[in-house]
């Protein structure tokens, strides 16, 4: 999956990214789904040890255009995982209290503690995306934020956090079909916001903004992965592969066994004898 990692030394063009790309899994959907199911189980085991060890911190950031698949990715990725030690943070429109602080204030409070894996459904990157597209702050303000974000993420990694960032890339036609699917399915209509159609008019501006995000904030300490996301099964396989590889590299271990457990077993068994 390293072909999807954004190299800061080689700027990418979003228009050249193929949202339908299936890599080496072209024509192997069933095999890919089987591989993903195996990764789900392995990820669950690794996350359990991560939580038990209470040492490492993992932050997973998901960004995408509307209908890009952030929610679906989270559901699939965490299907086998024990909820203990896993948190999901979703960043909506800032509240008045949040707006009274710097833009990273609400984000910093949600980063993982030791033993935790936290997933951001949208993130601090909205402050160089939405605010840029809708001109909520000046260009002079949002341009400074790339460097600020890099510094913020570097501080987190120096404090022991592993950061993985995923841009789930769909094309405009796929987004259109996903909107239509929502509108024609009564069980999915709740996901549709009438403003989505108006926001779609900003597609090209968002693409330009995302391109800057990927090129200016993919670093050695907090890399971006531009994942082809037109096919849900391949999107899930890519993300699960990268996250599982990262957890493996941490080599989490269960804490040292309790010394002389027989003493405690005997004490518990003696409870029944004393009754």
The CATH number linked to 22 is: 3.40.50.300
Domain assignment of residue 112, given as a range: 2-274
Query: In the 3-class helix/strand/coil scheme, how is the chain assigned residue by residue?
Result: CHHHECCCCCCCCHHHCCCCCCHHHCCCHHHHHHHHHHHHHHHHHHHHHHHHHCCCEEEEEEEECCCCCHHHHHHHHCCCCCCCCEEEEECCCCCHHHHCCCCCHHHHCCCCCCCCEEEEECCHHHHHCHHHHCCCCCHHHHHHHHHHHHHHHHHHHHCCEEEEEEEEECCHHHHHHHHHHHHHCCCCHHHCCCHHHHHHCCHHHHHHHHHHHHHHHCCCCCCEEEEECCCHHHHHHHHHHHHHHHHHHHCCCCCCCCCCHHHHHHHHHHHHHHC
Count of structural domains, the chain: 1
Query: Is the four-CA dihedral 145, 147, 148, 154 of positive or negative sign?
Result: positive
Which of 63, 172, 169 is closest to 122 using CA atoms? Answer: 63
| Terminal Cα-to-Cα distance of the chain (whole angstroms) | 60
Give pLDDT < 50 ranges for the chain: none
pTM for the structure as a whole: 0.93
**Per-residue model confidence as pLDDT tens digits over 162-194:** 999 999 999 999 999 999 999 999 999 998 888
What pLDDT, on the 0 to 100 scale, is given for residue 270? 86
What pLDDT, on the 0 to 100 scale, is given for residue 97? 96
């Amino acid at each position: 999956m390293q072909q999807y990692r954004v190299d800061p030394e080689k700027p990418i063009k979003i228009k050249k990214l193929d949202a339908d790309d299936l890599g080496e899994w072209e024509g192997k959907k069933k095999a890919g789904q089987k591989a993903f199911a195996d990764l789900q189980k392995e990820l669950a085991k690794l996350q359990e040890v991560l939580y038990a060890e209470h040492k490492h911190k993992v932050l997973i950031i998901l960004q995408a255009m509307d209908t890009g698949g952030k929610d679906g990715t989270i559901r699939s990725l965490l299907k086998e995982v024990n909820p203990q030690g896993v948190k999901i943070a979703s960043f909506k429109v800032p509240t008045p209290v949040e707006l009274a602080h710097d833009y990273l204030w609400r984000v910093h409070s949600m980063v993982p503690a030791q033993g935790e894996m936290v997933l951001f459904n949208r993130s601090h990157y909205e402050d160089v995306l939405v605010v840029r597209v809708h001109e909520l702050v000046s260009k002079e303000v949002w341009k400074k934020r790339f460097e600020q974000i890099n510094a913020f993420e570097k501080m987190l990694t120096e404090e022991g956090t592993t950061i993985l960032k995923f841009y789930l890339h769909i094309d405009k036609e796929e987004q259109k079909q996903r909107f239509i699917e929502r509108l024609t399915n009564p069980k999915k209509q709740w996901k549709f916001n009438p403003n989505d159609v108006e926001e779609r008019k900003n597609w090209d501006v968002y693409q330009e903004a995302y391109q800057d995000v990927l090129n200016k904030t993919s670093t050695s300490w907090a890399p971006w992965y531009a994942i082809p996301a037109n096919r849900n099964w391949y999107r899930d396989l890519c993300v699960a592969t990268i996250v599982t590889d990262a957890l493996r590299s941490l080599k989490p271990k269960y804490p040292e066994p309790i010394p002389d457990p027989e003493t405690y077993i005997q004490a518990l068994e003696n409870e029944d004898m004393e009754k």
